[in-house]
Amino acid sequence: DTGVSQNPRHKITKRGQNVTFRCDPISEHNRLYWYRQTLGQGPEFLTYFQNEAQLEKSRLLSDRFSAERPKGSFSTLEIQRTEQGDSAMYLCASSLNGGTLMDTQYFGPGTRLTVL
Amino acid sequence: AQTVTQSQPEMSVQEAETVTLSCTYDTSESDYYLFWYKQPPSRQMILVIRQEAYKQQNATENRFSVNFQKAAKSFSLKISDSQLGDAAMYFCAYRTDGGSQGNLIFGKGTKLSVKP
């Protein structure tokens, strides 16, 4: 069990550019979540997948944000036309729905995005 | 909508002493799960302890235990024999039970410092 991994760990971009982040969940986990965390705050939910289906999206997920999990394994989160307000830590988590551990979510190390 | 409140932005404890972090939540549901996560300065979120709302018995994990008061909607974390490695941000989180809604709702966190 290698845990949840995220790439890149850090991303610096200029306003208006597109960025894409990747998350690889724990291998047997069928649910995958994206959260955003700004400095001094708790993580805020963005969206989640069960297998390849995107089941829920937060109102925080504007039209510039899109997430995919094409084969029910890894996921990508893309932000188009980045704005300075998008600067944050983007966290990915995975869980096993229907398991015995209360669907506990395990987090990756995050991708720190800085928009200049 | 469910909310989670952590009323202590910062706490401090002497090494080897005991400290309690507070968390209250608001929900109209009867079945749910509660979690405490730790986020050290490296920022990877680590699960500390979890509690099912239908269980009256308080969860314990080594030096960590909770005081779950369902009627009062309170879920405090007690850390015994505090160690320098316990210094971190601690987040209380809520998750509903069942249905398609699977995301965690976090409080704003409590920054714990441990003095040698």
Instruction: Report, as an integer, the average pLDDT of B3-9.
Output: 96
**pLDDT surpassing 90 at residue A71:** no
Q: What percent of chain B has pLDDT over 90?
A: 78
Q: What is the pLDDT of residue A100?
A: 59
- Burial classification of residue A35, based on how many CB atoms lie within 10 Å of its CB (0-12 exposed, 13-18 middle, 19 or more buried): buried
Tokens encoding A98: 């229907």
Bond from prior residue into A8 cis (ω within 30 degrees of 0): yes
Q: Which chain A residue has its CA at the smallest distance from B94's CA?
A: A104
Neighbours of A88 (CB within 10 A): 20
Task: Indicate the pLDDT class of residue A2, thresholds 50, 70 and 90.
Answer: confident
Closest in B102, B103, B106 to A42, CB measured: B106
Best of B42, B44, B45, B110 to substitute, by most chain A Cβ atoms within 10 angstroms, is: B45
Q: What is the pLDDT of residue A101?
A: 65
Distance (Å, whole) CA B91 – CA B45? 9
Nearest Cα of chain A lies from the Cα of B48 at a distance, in angstroms, of: 11
Distances, alpha carbon B9 to alpha carbons A41, B20, B90, in Å: 10, 13, 10
pLDDT in tens, B9-50: 999 999 999 999 999 999 988 889 999 999 998 778 999 999
Which residues are paired to A21 by β-bridges?
A77
If you search the block for the tokens 């850090």, which residue do you land on? A10
Question: Which residues of A fall within a CB distance of 8 Å from B47?
Answer: 104, 106
Which residues are paired to B46 by β-bridges?
B38
Q: What is the pLDDT of residue A60?
A: 81
Neighbours of A91 (CB within 10 A): 26
CB contact under 8 A, B109 and A56: no
Task: Indicate the pLDDT class of residue A72, thresholds 50, 70 and 90.
Answer: confident
Closest in A43, A102, A109 to B50, CB measured: A102
Stretch (H or E) spanning B3 = strand B3-5
Distance (Å, whole) CA A81 – CA B90? 33
Chain A interface residues (partner B, CB cutoff 8 A): 31, 33, 35, 40-45, 48, 50, 55-56, 58, 89, 91, 93, 95, 97, 101-110
Q: What is the pLDDT of residue B72?
A: 95
Q: Which chain B residue has its CA at the smallest distance from A45's CA?
A: B103
pLDDT in tens, A3-61: 999 999 999 999 999 999 999 999 989 999 999 999 889 999 999 999 999 988 888 88
Task: Indicate the pLDDT class of residue A103, thresholds 50, 70 and 90.
Answer: confident
Tokens encoding A47: 């969206």
Instruction: Report, as an integer, the average pLDDT of B49-73.
Output: 94
Closest in A31, A41, A110 to B43, CB measured: A110
